[in-house]
């Protein structure tokens, strides 16, 4: 069997990367929604961070990125 031409291999990998990026984006959204639920339950971003054993900055960034994306998707104002 003859190997795939390089152009076809590049096209295949580009398609795979696109699918993986979409999946990673959806997973990041689900994580941010869960973090927001944690803030509702525990009270603050810092409390969620302590519970998860991560920095409050990481939790805050994930939530803000999600909120900006959500606002942009709905045509709402962003902070940028």
pLDDT in tens, 24-68: 999 999 999 999 999 999 999 999 999 999 999 999 999 999 999
Model pTM? 0.79
What is the residue range of 45's domain? 29-75
Token pair belonging to 56: 């409050």
CA trace torsion 55, 73, 29, 47 (10° rounding)? 40
Domain count, the chain: 1
What is the C-alpha separation between 29 and 62, in angstroms, rounded? 9
The answer to whether 8 and 35 have CB atoms below 8 angstroms apart is no
Q: Does a structural domain hold residue 20?
A: no
| 12 has a pLDDT exceeding 90 | yes
Q: Does a structural domain hold residue 70?
A: yes
Closest alpha carbon to 39 in 31, 25, 65, 27: 31
Confidence (pLDDT) at 72: 92
Confidence (pLDDT) at 10: 97
Q: Does a structural domain hold residue 1?
A: no
């Amino acid at each position: 069997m003859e190997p795939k031409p390089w152009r076809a291999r590049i096209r295949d990998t580009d398609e795979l990367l696109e699918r993986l990026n979409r999946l990673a984006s959806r997973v990041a959204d689900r994580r941010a929604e869960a973090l927001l639920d944690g803030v509702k339950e525990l009270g603050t971003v810092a409390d969620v961070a302590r519970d998860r054993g991560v920095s409050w900055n990481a939790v805050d960034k994930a939530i803000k990125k999600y909120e900006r994306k959500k606002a942009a998707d709905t045509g709402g104002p962003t902070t940028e």
